[in-house]
């Protein structure tokens, strides 16, 4: 089925003698809720000792003041990514107050209603206020509770030296190198969407949720016990229909198009400019305070929910779509990873190695355009695997024909074998092939998946999701408190925190226009 992948890998093997893949860049973003010792979402401000969330590039916040985000720089080696992620979390644990801990799972617990979730504060600058207003708008549109689900994002780019050789290999002489690179990244993205359900099956770690998360809303989930909802074969409820989604997109007819960079940018711009009656009811500025950035289908590009995004590094206060139009796709962000509750870091080396195999496989495989019927299949499969992925009889849709998940997954993993060998070409212990083999075992035995392990421990220990998550959080707390951070790394994070505070102060001091003018300038960028 994947003869083209094998053919391209054979050609790349020859190129890779000279280290063709050296210089590829991998980065991770990991979210974690700060919680009180009883598991309730922290009401304390972002610790000042961690610097300014607006400007610290490595330790910041996401939706909520309590939702920490750890961002690694891009590295050429997975070991370096994990070292940095471990050290940044160790540093944060030294700065937490009032016996707070970091929650070990994607799904939060002890949610005492919407108002118990503090929106992130980024200071009084125009840029900082814009970030807070955007989050306030998300709360009005989708509810705050959905926004505090934590995840892990995997960022990946191939080295600049790869693209001219790959262009030659594909005999694509008609386009420039930047356009070719963007075209190929979109090819990768389409395949990541086609086969993305595999990530939920292999690494989904949210098969259960605290009942307080749904706050009495009707649900098709089943009772695990009096405090926990679950699905018997669920993998990732985070990626299911209780997670964050743009539920209004079908009503407006706007959906991102992944045909190419131009189509993608155009559909997102359309959504940002399209008024939506339901959001107009919220109001934009009410009693002198912004409730959302605008009343359009999307306030900004980041509001569009997707399991994968094409990215370009922003320059200043640049709009993401404008950065893509100007400079093309720089890297791809995979957003569908649950926080791994069984690892203190939230993700481990085996996972990251497999995801790199998966990324490269998706680039090398044939990638047709996604038509309307296939888009429906992709959405259907993703939802089905999230809620029922470990059902041994589960069937997905592929080209309008039903196929057993296990059969399709086996075909995909078999097709990745040559890619794992390519990535292991200059290694002696074959870590990529070992990672792939571990995933093959999960297809054979779904009890090896994180979601099954989580439910298994909850049953064995007769514990609710809350007690499981709290137990793992306390174990991780102990792990980080037992670590000793080097003086060099401590100095690095302390310096970054100090510099970020100074930078925020500079931004606030340099504001020379009103917030209204600032927002108008931002949205008028062309």
pLDDT in tens, 327-371: 999 999 999 999 999 999 999 999 999 999 999 999 999 999 999
Query: pLDDT tens across 218-256, in order?
Result: 899 999 999 999 999 999 999 998 865 655 555 555 689
> Rounded mean pLDDT of 430-437?
98
Tokens for 509? 């001091």
Average pLDDT of the residues of the chain: 95
Domains for the chain: give ranges and CATH numbers.
Answer: 3-523 (3.30.590.20)
**Cβ 222 vs Cβ 232: under 8 Å:** yes
pLDDT value of position 172: 85
**Would you say residue 422 has pLDDT above 60?**
yes
**Would you say residue 83 has pLDDT above 70?**
yes
Between these two residues, 248 and 22, which has the higher pLDDT value? 22
pLDDT value of position 19: 82
**Would you say residue 174 has pLDDT above 90?**
no
**Cβ 444 vs Cβ 368: under 8 Å:** no
Q: Which residues contact 435 (CB under 8 A, 6 or more apart)?
A: 349, 350, 351, 353, 354, 357, 420
> Rounded mean pLDDT of 403-407?
98
Output the DSSP codes for 39-84: SPBP-SPPPGGG--TTT-SSEEE-SBTTEEEEEPPPBSSHHHHHHH
Per DSSP, the three-state class of 256 is coil
* Confidence at 18, pLDDT banded by 50, 70, 90: confident
Q: Which residue has the tokens 């890779």?
A: 16
**Would you say residue 373 has pLDDT above 60?**
yes
> Rounded mean pLDDT of 380-384?
97
Closest by CA position to 388, among listed 231, 213, 520: 231
> Rounded mean pLDDT of 152-160?
97
Highest average pLDDT, of 21-25, 110-114, 126-130, comes from 126-130
Distance CA 352, CA 26 (A): 9
Q: Which residues contact 477 (CB under 8 A, 6 or more apart)?
A: 93, 101, 102
**Would you say residue 78 has pLDDT above 90?**
yes
**Would you say residue 59 has pLDDT above 70?**
yes
What distances in angstroms separate CA 123 from CA 52, 130, 133, 471, 501, one per listed residue? 9, 10, 12, 35, 10
> Rounded mean pLDDT of 497-521?
97
> Rounded mean pLDDT of 424-428?
90
pLDDT value of position 256: 92
**Cβ 29 vs Cβ 82: under 8 Å:** no
């Amino acid at each position: 089925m994947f003869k083209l992948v094998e053919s391209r890998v054979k050609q790349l093997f020859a190129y890779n003698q000279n280290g063709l893949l050296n210089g590829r860049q991998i980065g991770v973003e990991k979210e974690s809720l700060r919680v009180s010792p009883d598991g309730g979402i922290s009401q304390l401000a972002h610790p000042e000792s961690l610097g300014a969330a607006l400007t610290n590039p490595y330790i910041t916040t996401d939706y909520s003041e309590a939702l920490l985000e750890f961002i690694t720089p891009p590295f050429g080696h997975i070991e370096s990514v994990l070292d940095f992620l471990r050290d940044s979390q160790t540093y944060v644990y030294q700065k937490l107050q009032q016996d707070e801990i970091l929650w070990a799972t994607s799904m939060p617990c002890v949610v005492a209603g919407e108002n118990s979730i503090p929106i992130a504060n980024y200071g009084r600058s125009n840029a900082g206020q814009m970030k807070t207003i955007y989050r306030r708008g998300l709360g009005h549109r989708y509810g705050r509770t959905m926004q505090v689900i934590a995840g892990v994002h995997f960022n990946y780019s191939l080295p600049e030296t790869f693209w001219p050789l790959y262009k030659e290999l594909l005999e694509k002489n008609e386009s420039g190198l930047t356009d070719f690179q963007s075209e190929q990244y979109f090819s990768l993205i389409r395949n990541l969407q086609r086969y993305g359900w595999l990530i939920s099956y292999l690494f989904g770690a949210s098969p259960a949720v605290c009942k307080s998360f749904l706050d009495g809303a009707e649900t098709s989930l089943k009772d695990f016990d009096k405090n926990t909802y679950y699905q018997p074969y669920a993998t990732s409820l985070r990626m299911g229909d209780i997670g964050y989604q743009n539920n209004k997109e079908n009503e407006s007819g706007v959906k991102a198009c992944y045909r190419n960079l131009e189509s993608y940018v155009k559909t997102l711009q359309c959504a940002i400019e399209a008024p939506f009656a339901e959001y107009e009811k919220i109001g934009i500025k009410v009693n002198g305070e912004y409730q959302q950035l605008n009343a359009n289908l999307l306030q900004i590009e980041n509001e569009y929910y997707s399991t994968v995004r094409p990215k370009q590094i922003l320059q200043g206060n640049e709009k993401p779509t404008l950065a893509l139009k100007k400079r093309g796709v720089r890297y791809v962000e995979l957003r569908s990873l649950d926080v791994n509750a069984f690892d203190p870091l939230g993700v481990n080396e085996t996972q990251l190695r497999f995801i790199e195999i998966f990324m490269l496989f998706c680039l090398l495989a044939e990638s047709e355009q996604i038509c309307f019927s296939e888009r429906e299949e992709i959405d259907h499969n993703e939802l089905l695997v999230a809620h029922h992925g470990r059902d041994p009889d589960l069937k997905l849709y592929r080209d309008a024909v039903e196929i057993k998940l296990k059969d399709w997954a086996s075909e995909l993993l078999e097709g990745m074998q040559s890619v794992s060998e390519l990535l292991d070409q200059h290694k002696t212990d074959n870590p990529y092939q070992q990672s792939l083999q571990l995933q093959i075992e999960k297809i054979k035995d779904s009890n090896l998946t994180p979601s099954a392990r989580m439910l298994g421990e909850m049953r064995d220990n007769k514990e609710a999701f809350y007690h499981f998550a709290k137990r793992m959080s306390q174990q991780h707390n102990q792990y980080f408190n037992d670590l000793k951070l080097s003086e060099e790394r401590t100095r690095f994070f302390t310096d970054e925190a100090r510099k970020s505070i100074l930078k925020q102060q500079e931004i606030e001091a340099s504001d020379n226009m009103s917030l209204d003018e600032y927002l108008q300038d931002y949205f008028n960028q062309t």
